[in-house]
Amino acid sequence: MTEGVAHGQLAGLDQIDGVGRDGVRGGYSRHLWNDSDMQLRSWFVERAEQLGLAIEYDRNANIWAWWGAPGDDAIVTGSHLDSVPGGGAFDGPLGVVSALEAVAALKRDGFAPSRPFAILVFAEEEGSRFGVACLGSALMAGAISPDRVRALVDAEGQSYADAARRVGFDAAHIGRDEESLRRIGLFLELHVEQGRGLIELGSATAIASSILAHGRWTLTFRGQGNHAGATLMTDRDDPMVTAARAVLEIREAALAAPGARATVGRISAVPGGSNVIASTVTMTLDARAGSDDETRDLVADIAQRVGASEFEENSWSPEVAFDADLAARLQAALGGVPALPSGAGHDAGVLAAAVPTGMIFVRNPTGISHAPQEFAELDDCLEGIEALVTVLKGLL
Ligand code: GLV
Ligand code: MN
Ligand code: MN
Ligand code: MN
């Protein structure tokens, strides 16, 4: 098993292997507009230009690379370059590298598209910097308010608008982008599979059938900050204890709801001294289930069980059923590959509300994702790219 090492992988993954390595967590920490994200963006622009593609930036910080003249009703493929903290090498970059490889292969074959075609790289898919996932696609589709996005703050307290200004991007014009939506006739995202679905099916590739409904919440538990030595155990109002019980209740609630998943991925105490009983504990909740109602019911059950002082919704992504016509065309073109539901969210899922979208998954032999052990064998990646090329030839 590799530790997020892409060496010996597709050339594009090898080229960016050193970018954004996280020496503390392992894997990569590539977040919107940090140094590594900026390096990856430049790398993409350079690679696309080497292939003769023309670069455009849209009003939501997404990058487009056009083969031929930009136009409406284009075939568009791509993914994202950012990662979760300590993420793997494949979640996102595999789709971008595969799109570049597919163009190179089509050009080698002397193929010329008969309709507009672009590669699209979305900004901040993971939501690791500003807490809300799929910012680039959600802004484009009008699924999130631009005012809210401008005001989002990162861990250092820097707002999206200020962070944008620092890298020379003007956040004044973010928001629903009719021009880009008109341009996307169809969006295809190739992505590493993030669970054990393809291992169990014994297949190198699949298409996506649906995405679980999912969202993110922040739970706050308040108590009385106090001295760790002078305060008797019977005389405490310790929110850390309430929070610990809440973590267990969250697990119980998800286990009681078929197919549901609930995760507390981050927890922090204020003031955070080892000899101080905390006054406030906050935790993140990521909750997902097969349908909107099931997910809402799960979160209502959790809210009732944990008794948090505050329970705030940060983002909500309804269940996605991918375009059935496109799915049938993908399956026909790919010789009847299996269809898999996705437990992970994707820009293709956000865009599905506005334009036809589809996804091709590539097997992950570790079954692990959002961690350094995420992996895909070179042969499986090549099969995924071949699938993408086949599909693009049929569409272009
Ligand atoms: C993104 O990868 C998500 O599903 O959290
Ligand atoms: Mn992804
Ligand atoms: Mn991800
Ligand atoms: Mn994702």
Ligand 1 contact via 106 beta carbon (within 6 Å): no
Q: Is 133 in the pocket of ligand 1 (CB under 6 A)?
A: yes
Residue 135 near ligand 1, beta carbon < 6 Å: no
What is the CATH code for 215-317? 3.30.70.360
* Per-residue pLDDT tens digits for 117-154: 999 999 999 999 999 999 999 999 999 999 999 999 99
For the chain, how long is the longest CA-to-CA vector? 78
Domain layout of the chain by residue ranges: 11-212+319-395, 215-317
Q: Is 344 in the pocket of ligand 1 (CB under 6 A)?
A: yes
* Ligand 1 pocket: which of 82, 83, 126, 191 to mutate (most atoms within 8 A of CB): 126
- For residues 292 and 362, what is the distance between their CA atoms, to the nearest angstrom? 27
User: Alpha-carbon distance 31 to 95, whole Å?
Assistant: 17
The distance from CA 227 to its chain's CA centroid, rounded to whole angstroms, is 41
- The model's pLDDT over 74-126, given as tens digits with 9 standing for 90+, comes to 999 999 999 999 999 999 999 999 999 999 999 999 999 999 999 999 999 99
List pLDDT tens digits, range 379-390: 999 999 999 999
**Ligand 1 atom at shortest distance from the alpha carbon of 134:** 1
Question: Token digits for 257?
Answer: 């709801």
d(CA 22, CA 30) in angstroms, rounded, equals 9
Q: What is the 263 CA–ligand 4 centroid distance (Å)?
A: 15
Distance between Cα 240 and ligand 2 center (Å): 33
Which of 261, 285, 346, 350 to mutate for ligand 1's pocket (most ligand atoms within 8 Å of CB)? 346
Q: How many CB atoms within 10 Å of residue 227?
A: 9
What letter represents residue 104's amino acid? A
Instruction: Indicate the SS3 state at residue 284.
Output: strand
Q: How much is the average pLDDT of 46-52?
A: 98
Residue 367 has pLDDT above 90, yes or no: yes
Model confidence at 6, pLDDT cuts 50, 70, 90, reads: low
Position in ligand 1 atom list of the atom nearest CA 344: 4
Which value does ipTM take for this structure? 0.90
pLDDT digits (tens, 9 = 90+) for 177-236: 999 999 999 999 999 999 999 999 999 999 999 999 999 999 999 999 999 999 999 999
Give yes or no for residue 177 CB within 6 A of ligand 1: no
Nearest ligand for residue 92 CA: 2
CA distance linking residue 109 with residue 382, whole number of Å? 16
Ligand 1 within 6 A of CB of 345: yes
Superfamily of domain 11-212+319-395: Zn peptidases (3.40.630.10)
